Structure 1
Amino acid sequence: MLTDITKTLYRRYFDTDPSPFISEAFLGLVENKTERLIRLMDEEEKSIGLILGLKDDILCSPFSAPFGGFHYTHEHVSYSVIFNYLSDLKLFVNEQGFKRVVITLPPNPYQNNMNAKFINAFVRLGFTMATPDIQNCVNLKKFDGNWTKNTVGQNCRRAIKHQLSCSIVTDEASRKDAYDVIFRNRVEQERKIHMTLEDILKVNEILPVDFFLVKDSDGCNIGAGIFYRGHSKIVQGIFLGDDMEKRSLGIIDFLVMNIYEHYKKMDFDYIDLGISSMCGDPNVGLIRFKEIHNCETSLRFTFWWNPGNNQSFQINPKK
């Protein structure tokens, strides 16, 4: 039986976070976007936990982040424990009179073993699976400076020939310069940007945020990237952008090369470049862009359940 417990008790059992988006620091930053937080644990089993945001009688993980997911005591929690937890989650939603529970799991690099068990149990228990989103990550352990497509390397050499420079910037003015490059790029492509510079700097108060800035030989700002370092082995790419009028200089390829090399030297294993689809609808061009920059393509899963789609059959988790 799942119980909504206090933060103090919850963190007594779950003191590490599989991803930064279910850390107390991050949840505290976005808590004002939900009515309240609910922390669910079986007080007898104590090996799996889930923090959900409640809004309009719907429970969500995440409620303001790319993905949410579960806490657990270790990666080898028994399948039957996971199955029973999700069974009890359905009972909790039903008994409390909530309309729905929605959970987006992290990409595989964050928790490959647990994802396989959770996804299987979600399906067997009758949760509805949304069309999976296309997810792209760079395996830095495999990156050796060679590219899937030769033109990427050619563009990098062109950028170097034109004396482009790339550096991490930390002062207030340069961070604004980096954000402005990205903002202009989004406007020119008629794409929305859902975070202000102030939003990003608030995140920087709880986890490191890196601002990359590319300049041309005249010192003009022509490319930028913003990345989160909220995980010990995985960096998350938030924004990339360039001056579209000067794109022929190879700005983005040069920027990506410098970012990969920087985080590989810092001994990170992966760069999470996020999804390349929206609600399951693929952005073919974006997938191609990421894959020619050595990304591995996988799936990110979202499941939901409400009392209206309950299953009448029973499943034995040991089978």
Structure 2
Amino acid sequence: MKLDIVNASIAENSSQEAEGLLFQRLSYNQLYIDSGYEIVEFRFKKNNILCLSLVAGVKNKALKSPFSAPFGGFIEHVSPLSISDYIAAVELLKSYLVCNKILESYITLPPDCYGAPLIAKQVFALQAAGYEVKHSDLNYSLDLRKNSFDDGLKKIARRCLKKSKSHKLDFSLCEDAERVVMAYDVIQKNRIQRGNPLKLSLENLLAVKRLSAVDFFIVNYQGQAIASAVVYKIAERFGQVIYWGNDIEFNSLNSIHFLAENLFNYYKPCLDTLDIGPSSLEGVANIGLCRFKESLGCDVTLKLNLSLNNQRTEERS
């Protein structure tokens, strides 16, 4: 196994850029080239064939994958790869850290809904090299291969969905700039109402459209936008709800339940999984949010954050 290091500020996109999940790709991470991190792509080759890659940001003697995304981790460019290939790649990464006096490394892997066997190999290889689980988060997703949205609904969610339909709500894809802004404004209002930060600007979201599909949706009540969602296409059969929310002044209309069902039906013909996102932060669960997503029939999987402290590792050895 051989390791090539590519600086993202001067790199052209890889010819195999379509491989892997959106957040793991060099092109996505290049959107954040001015974030204060040195962005590098590690390309692991076997017999001169690209097998694995990993994009990370380096800052203040720490390496992070991701540095500005929900998750990072390795892209597999050749399949199948053995566990020994992963172990060799992680050992090369560790050697890079030592040689460049990088003291800490953090890698957040995708949740298991994106492919448990692939993620299991990464976890094993990283732990074999001394990485430890820093924390795990609960991640929720909808399996779109179910016959219908109703299949997984709990009783309380079924009642809320029925109630939402009695209000004659309207769901639609935003197909012009004005409605895209309207959808974003609903999300922004929801975050202000709840006192939560909104990390991505509308410009950030639209920049991703150059790389992959980004869909905006609105739920209207009597001509007024009361709920919306933003969804990225993460890979061929995967989508992720980046943002969704409602104007809490209309909570009694249960528009989020209506939105969830319509997102399920919209993506069912073209995707297998719709990632709804985490309901915990750095290992601390939002119990109410977990309960809500479980009531919708979401599956729960773990998203692991692993860390390596080179100083502590050397002291133990």
TM-score by length of 1: 0.90
Displacement of 1:10 after TM fit?
A: 8.8
> Residues 107 and 159 (structure 1 numbering): CA distance in 2 closer, same or farther, change over 3 Å?
same
Matched, 1:201 2:218: no
Residue 32 of structure 1 aligns with which residue? 34
Superposition pairs of residues 282-301 of structure 1, within 5 angstroms: 282-301=285-304
Residue 104 of structure 2 aligns with which residue? 100
Does structure 2 retain, via aligned residues, the 8 Å contact 1:75–1:114?
Answer: no
Residue 79 of structure 1 aligns with which residue? 83
Equivalences, count: 311
Query: Percent sequence identity over matched residues?
Result: 28
Matched, 1:163 2:168: yes
> Residues 172 and 5 (structure 1 numbering): CA distance in 2 closer, same or farther, change over 3 Å?
closer
Deviations 1:74-130 (A, max 9, x none): 343111111122122212101111122211111223232121111122223221211
Distance of 2:247 and 2:279 partners within structure 1 = 22
> Residues 162 and 127 (structure 1 numbering): CA distance in 2 closer, same or farther, change over 3 Å?
same
Q: 1:132 aligns with which of 132, 136, 146?
A: 136
Does structure 2 retain, via aligned residues, the 8 Å contact 1:125–1:311?
Answer: no
Distance of 2:209 and 2:3 partners within structure 1 = 34
Distance of 1:44 and 1:188 partners within structure 2 = 52
Displacement of 1:313 after TM fit?
A: 8.7
Q: Where does the alignment leave 5 or more consecutive residues of structure 1 unmatched?
A: 315-319
Secondary structure of the residue aligned to 2:70 is: coil
> Residues 43 and 167 (structure 1 numbering): CA distance in 2 closer, same or farther, change over 3 Å?
closer
Distance of 1:99 and 1:43 partners within structure 2 = 25
Residue 317 of structure 1 aligns with which residue? none
Amino acid at match of 1:288: R
> Residues 251 and 67 (structure 1 numbering): CA distance in 2 closer, same or farther, change over 3 Å?
same
Matched, 1:304 2:304: no
Distance of 1:209 and 1:5 partners within structure 2 = 28
Distance of 1:221 and 1:256 partners within structure 2 = 16
> Residues 91 and 188 (structure 1 numbering): CA distance in 2 closer, same or farther, change over 3 Å?
same
Which shows bigger deviation, 275-284 or 170-179? Answer: 170-179
Q: 1:182 aligns with which of 182, 187, 194?
A: 187
Secondary structure of the residue aligned to 1:177 is: helix
> Residues 96 and 10 (structure 1 numbering): CA distance in 2 closer, same or farther, change over 3 Å?
farther
Which shows bigger deviation, 34-43 or 198-207? Answer: 34-43
Amino acid at match of 1:298: T
Amino acid at match of 1:237: V
Secondary structure of the residue aligned to 2:217 is: strand
> Residues 80 and 52 (structure 1 numbering): CA distance in 2 closer, same or farther, change over 3 Å?
same
Matched, 1:210 2:215: yes
Deviations 1:47-91 (A, max 9, x none): 222222222222211111101111222343111111122122212
CA-based RMSD of the aligned residues comes to: 2.2
Deviations 1:234-272 (A, max 9, x none): 11001111121221112110111101110003x200011
Amino acid at match of 2:308: W
Residue 153 of structure 2 aligns with which residue? 148
Residue 43 of structure 2 aligns with which residue? 41
> Residues 163 and 183 (structure 1 numbering): CA distance in 2 closer, same or farther, change over 3 Å?
same
Displacement of 1:203 after TM fit?
A: 1.8
Distance of 2:137 and 2:82 partners within structure 1 = 27
> Residues 242 and 95 (structure 1 numbering): CA distance in 2 closer, same or farther, change over 3 Å?
same
Superposition pairs of residues 48-67 of structure 1, within 5 angstroms: 48-67=52-71
Deviations 1:212-253 (A, max 9, x none): 11111x211111111111311011001111121221112110
Q: Where does the alignment leave 5 or more consecutive residues of structure 2 unmatched?
A: none
Q: 1:230 aligns with which of 226, 230, 234?
A: 234
Residue 21 of structure 1 aligns with which residue? 23
> Residues 10 and 113 (structure 1 numbering): CA distance in 2 closer, same or farther, change over 3 Å?
farther
Displacement of 1:40 after TM fit?
A: 2.0
Distance of 1:60 and 1:83 partners within structure 2 = 19
Residue 273 of structure 1 aligns with which residue? 276
TM-score by length of 2: 0.90
Distance of 1:22 and 1:184 partners within structure 2 = 30
Does structure 2 retain, via aligned residues, the 8 Å contact 1:134–1:282?
Answer: yes
